[in-house]
Every structure is written in structure tokens, then in C-alpha cells.
Amino acid sequence: MTITDVARHAGVSTAAVSKVMRNAYGVSAAMQEKVRAAMAELDYRPHAAARGMRGRTYTIGILLDNIRNTFFADILDGVRDELRDSEYTVLIGAAGFDAEVQDKTIRSMVDRQMDGLVLIAPGIQRAEVLSTAQSTPTVVIGHHDSSDLHDSVVDADGSGAGLVVDHLVSLGHRNIALVSSPGTRSSRWARTPEIVLGNGYAEAMGRHHLAEHTQICRTSYSDEGGYKAGMSLLTAGNRPTAIMTGADVAALGVWRAAHELGLRVPEDVSLVGYNNTAIADLATVQLTSVDQAGHNMGATAARLLIERVEGRRDHAVQTTMTPRLVVRGSTSAPSSG
């Protein structure tokens, strides 16, 4: 079955079929429907390799580090929904936290002629991302460093941290700790999410005249990382009465540590997550968390990427999501005891 067969079946030109397949700008809804109906009736499937030789493979590569971070599922859902009615296929590279493996994964995606890349908080050198973006349309999610070479989708992480501190202070907390990712200094990203979040936390603590209580514990955004941070913070002499984490998955690890130590959430320690993933709203969890619109971030990243892939825009943009605090049962006033 060929594109000519599809055109003949739909009663249109081969050029029209090609435009629909490329999702070209300006194709009418009626033409889209007619051609796609013909493709479905003929069970026509364009050959990816042949497409690649013509300059496009209709594949999008997504890089992420940790498949256990449920926030990434929200982002992927947004990408999927945005591309649902297009010809593009999404391929995921779960590369882990190692920068060399991430770099290898990105190079493999480029070698396979993927049309564009979405990099979720990449841990590789910024220079490597900029080099890749010169030849392959790229969207970076998370990092606040802007560039003329790639698009960016970020959350206002500084404001998000401020929302948490304001909420906890309003409940009467003063000794508030932050659990954050260590990041990678050698990657040369100046404004990663953890840096912006940490700065926002410190600024908010200072605004409330609590700078002397500022305490940041660095760990990986995982259940095990949160557990280790929780054990460290909750066995310290000056135990915090409230802990905020940069990811819900880490908050659950802190919760596990508190449980092992015989501490209750929120009676003995208030706990706040970040990302507002589905697990935060489980009846047995009810975790207060910052919602940074993961689905919207993914959908926006996909839309920006396709605009660049299809030549509808030739300049880079940075889109910022506005966070909101979702208050649940894991935070309350500190106990008088």
C-alpha cells in the first residue's frame, strides 16, 4: 500500500496526503478527516525508515532519569494527550541519574533521526544540550537557564517554595527544613529546579525572620533518598517541626522514616511534598503538596517542540507554570509538647 493508493481512495492529490501526514500548517479539518479515514480503511502505515530518508521520522524522544518518580508520569500524559491526534510517536529513554548514560541515550536518539527531543531535568553538561539543540529541535523541562537554541518549560519553583514556607509559618512552625536534590555542579546549569527551589526557600525563611532555622538536606528524589534524609533530620538534636521536600516521592520516604522512629504525621512533624502527584491524594496519604501542573508542562513541551519541528516558529521561548499549594492532612500546627 502506497501514498498513491491512499490519495486515490480519498479522491485527493498525493501532495494533500503528504501534507496531512506531515500535519502541515493550514490543512483543513475536512481534508484531515478524509485522508485519515482513507488511511484507516486501507490500513496504511507509513514506513518510518522511508520517512527518515525523506527528512522526518515522526518520532519524539523523551529523556528522564527515574521512572519511579510519578511526577514524570504526569508530564508524559501531557505529551501523549497533546500528540494523540498527530502522526508522532513518543519513545522514552529512562537513563537513570548517571550523566554519561544520559548523554549516551540522547546521542542514540539523535542517531536514530528522531525529529525532536524533550529532556526532563537533564543531568548532562549544559554545553552538550546546547550542541544537540543546534541540530535537533529540543525542549528542556525543569531547568531555568534560558537559551536561544532550545525551548524551556519550567515551574516558578521559587514561588512554590515560598507558598510552602508561608503556609507552615501560618500554622506556627519556625523550624522548617528542606529536603532537596543535590544536583550536579559539574553540569554547568546555573538555575536547576533544586537551586531555584532552595533559593526560594531561603528567601521565604528570611522574609519571616527565620534565617537561623534554615536547613537543607540533600538527597536523591526517591523513596530511599527521602528515607535517609528523614532519618538524618528527625534524629538530630534540633529536630524540625516541619519538612518540605522537592518531590512527593521523597516526602513518602521521609514519612517512612518518621513512622520507624515512632513519630506521627502531622502531629509530631508536618510534611509537604512537591509535584502533587496522584499518590499525594490517596486516602491513606493526604499529602500537602505543591501542584506545578505536570500534565500542562508535558502538553506545552510537546506543542512547543512540534512548532519547531514543523518550522512554524524559529525563535526559542520559555514558558513558566504558576504553582499552587494543595493543602491536605499532612500539615498542622506544631504540637505544644
Q: What is the pLDDT of residue 190?
A: 86
Cell 532537596 belongs to: 180
Rounded CA-CA distance 292/158 in Å is: 12
Choose among 161, 163, 209, 174: nearest CA to 333: 174
Mean pLDDT for back-to-back runs of 10 residues, the chain (337 residues): 87 87 77 89 69 68 86 93 91 89 92 93 91 94 94 95 98 97 77 94 98 95 94 94 96 97 97 93 93 94 94 92 96 84
Q: What is the pLDDT of residue 47?
A: 58
pTM exceeds 0.85 for this model:
no
Q: What is the pLDDT of residue 52?
A: 47
CB 84 within 8 A of CB 99: no
Q: What is the pLDDT of residue 185?
A: 65
Q: Position 143: which residue type?
A: H
CB 248 within 8 A of CB 275: yes
Q: What is the pLDDT of residue 184?
A: 67
Q: What is the pLDDT of residue 202?
A: 97
